[in-house]
Amino acid sequence: MVPFEEIGQYGGTWRRVWFGLSDQWGSNKICFEYPLLPNKNGAEVLPNLFEDMRVSADGRVYTFKIREGLRWSDGTPVTTEDVRLVMFKEPYPLFPLFLISAAHPGTVTGFMLPSHHIKQFHPKYVGEAKAQEIAKANGFENWWKFIQSRCLSSSVWLVNPDLPVLYPWKLSRRTTDTMLVLERNPYHFKVDPAGNQLPYVDEIVHYLVQDSQMVVYKAITGEIDMQARNIPTSEYQVLAANRERGGYRLLVSKLATGSDVTLYFNQNYKGDSYIRDQLRNVKFRQAISLAINREEIWRLVYQGLGEPRQASLIKGVKYHDPEWEKAYAEYDPKKANQLLDEIGLNKKDKEGFRLRPDGQRLEIIIEYPTIFSYWDQAFEMIKGWNKGVVETHRKVPVRREVHLW
């Protein structure tokens, strides 16, 4: 691994903050290791847990070589048995995606599971009676729920210190309800150009906070060592003004995501049939997009940082298309109303809102997390611009720390 700035020194604690287990991807993104990695612009596939990949000419057969000497965090060698536990039962078209992007559903490390650990609880290896006994002793009604909860989900490594992982850090038993502690994995496989085993940092500590304002406060008072996640761009000026007081520097980086606050229309909505049909109507979605003044959001909410655009691939990455980032991204309420007229929404009530064929006002609900203040600001502005196009309601927002299992 080539350092961004210089060869590091061993030791120390990296202090961060998080919103609880529902904010797991802060830790996951820092620590997760995948079978393969994309390069910076996504054009090439690089080795990682797998040191080699070969694909047959017809794209039907993939052959991998597991990195030599790879070990789980408890020192157990990684073998093909760890891959066999997550083999697909039938052809799966998204198979290549999980090699470089996100963990395969139901696993902790893409295509590898610590088989030596899971076999202790699996009926195939210990018998049905023993597996059920273990599950019930741990408060679960059956063995598969126990294994799912303690071995398989993407967040389980943050609650089960006994689970072996392949990440640079692993869960420490010092973790409490208000402090997540991750300690160095002594068997991590990566090294720097000087041959020093990574990671350099002894441990990462995440302190529990309630909202983005607390994140900003912790940064200003110097209680965060390095963090980008959950720090709102809308607070940039406040953070810049307090740099000397907090003893930190601000690094403005280019993200690979093409949009921050984004409207995702639920294509699987099964409620009101008329609303369902509109959500699936491309002209309806285009109209909503044209009724959003991205320039104003960019100027007032994001304080001129970044750029107003459509949600699409960014410049410099493979498959970027400049037309995509401009598609229906201009503020054109006249065109938005024209599109709605074309799809039959050509009647309005006395307040100017569109009416459905049944005479009811057309309404859609926007649901989003409350912990990001800039989302509140942006959606309030979107609601104002859509008046006369379609009535929008911000659903009683869901706090991200409320996590359902």
Per-residue pLDDT tens digits for 153-191: 778 899 999 999 999 999 999 999 999 999 999 999 999
**Three-state SS across 287-339?**
HHHHCCCHHHHHHHCCCCCCCCCCCCCCCCCCCCCCCHHHCCCCCCHHHHHHH
Task: Give 34 or 226, the one with higher predicted confidence.
Answer: 226
Q: What is the mean pLDDT of the chain?
A: 86
Number of Cβ within 10 Å of residue 49's Cβ equals 22
pLDDT at 94 over 80: no
Q: What is the pLDDT of residue 401?
A: 32
Query: Kindly report the CA angle at 60 between 59 and 66, in degrees rounded to 5?
Result: 90
| Across 205-229, average pLDDT | 93
Domains annotated on the chain, with CATH: 13-52+64-208 (no CATH), 273-394 (3.10.105.10)
Which pLDDT score, from 0 to 100, does residue 165 have?
93
How far apart (Å, rounded) are the C-alpha atoms in residues 200 and 6? Answer: 12
pLDDT value at residue 388:
56
pLDDT in tens, 352-397: 888 999 999 888 888 877 666 677 888 888 877 766 555 565 554 4
Band of pLDDT at residue 62, cut at 50, 70 and 90: confident
Q: What's the gap between Cα 150 and its chain centre? A: 21
Asked if the model's pLDDT at residue 341 lies above 90, the reply is: yes
Q: Is the dihedral of CA 133, 138, 139, 140 positive or negative?
A: negative
Contacts of 166-173 with CB under 8 Å at 24 or more apart are 166/33, 166/49, 166/70, 166/72, 166/73, 166/78, 166/109, 166/112, 167/31, 167/32, 167/33, 167/73, 168/31, 168/33, 168/198, 168/199, 169/30, 169/31, 169/199, 169/201, 169/203, 169/204, 170/73, 172/203
Give the DSSP per-residue string, 101-146: SSPPTT-SBTTB--HHHHTTT-HHHH-HHHHHHHHHHTT-SSHHHH
